[in-house]
Amino acid sequence: MISICFATNNKNKLEEVRSKIGNQFTILSLEDIGCLEELPETQPTIEGNSEQKAQYVAQKYKVNCFADDTGLLVDALQGAPGVYSARYAGPNCLPEDNMIKLLDELKGIKNRNAHFKTCITLVLDGTQIQFEGSVSGSILEEKHGEKGFGYDPIFQPDSYTISFAEMSMAEKNIISHRALAVSKLAAHLQSL
């Protein structure tokens, strides 16, 4: 079976990907390949960061590899926080701080449209290909729900009346940006 490293140590992401493609490919974590260092993530775009991480691991550790990067893009803020979603309120800030800052920035603004975007970069036998998944929705006026992570309590996907944080993980995993990008990756790998 072909082994591919998913350049993450996030157990939830590994589980999701393994459930979609784990029967045909052995999906290794960074720990599995002995990569315990922090990956470089210094590019100004989501696509660039995803590429940077995948290429770094593929070249340094001589493995087939894919890496993901995600951001929340808010229309009224010209796409912010975007690539800076994890550290919107400052380095090492909490998701709570990020949500407070975003709600603050949007105070009094009617256009609450936003979308999550995930880019996955696959480097297989030295060839690079990217897959994108996105989900459109709006930023709520206040937090709703306790599930999920990151900006989930303030993001409501289009045609739903509940936030991501009010959905079960199974429900979110059908429509989420990451799930859509992973499905495209899975379809590609299965077609090889």
Identified binder of ligand IMP from the candidate list 28, 56, 58, 69, rule CB under 6 A: 69
- 150 touches ligand IMP by CB under 6 A: yes
Closer of 149 and 187 to ligand IMP (Cβ) = 149
In the bound state with ligand IMP, the residue whose beta carbon lies nearer, of 72 and 140, is 72
Structure tokens at 74: 């808010």
The residue range among 100-108, 138-146, 150-158, 179-187 that interacts with ligand IMP, by the rule CB under 6 A, is 150-158
The correct pick among 73, 157, 164, 182 for binding ligand IMP (CB under 6 A) is: 164
Concatenated DSSP letters for 108-176? T-S--EEEEEEEEEEEETTEEEEEEEEEEEEE-SS---SSSSTTGGGEEETT-SS-GGGS-HHHHHHH-
151 is a contact residue toward ligand IMP (CB under 6 A): yes
12-47 burial: b if 16+ Cβ within 10 Å, else e: eebebbeebbeeebebbbbeebebeeebeeeeeebb
> What is the three-class DSSP state of 52?
helix
69, 97, 152, 158: the catalytic one is 69
Candidates 52, 121, 163, 176: give the one binding ligand IMP (CB under 6 A): 176
Is 133 exposed, middle or buried (CB count within 10 Å of its CB: 0-12, 13-18, 19+)?
buried
Among 30, 35, 86, 119, binds ligand IMP (CB under 6 A): 86
Q: Does 85 help bind ligand IMP (rule: CB under 6 A)?
A: yes
| CB closer to ligand IMP out of 38 and 125 | 38
Residue 75: active-site member: no
In the complex, residue closest to ligand IMP by CB: 150
Q: Is the dihedral of CA 54, 55, 60, 65 positive or negative?
A: positive
CB of residue 125 vs ligand IMP: minimum separation in angstroms?
25
70 is a contact residue toward ligand IMP (CB under 6 A): yes
Looking at the annotation, which residues are catalytic? 69
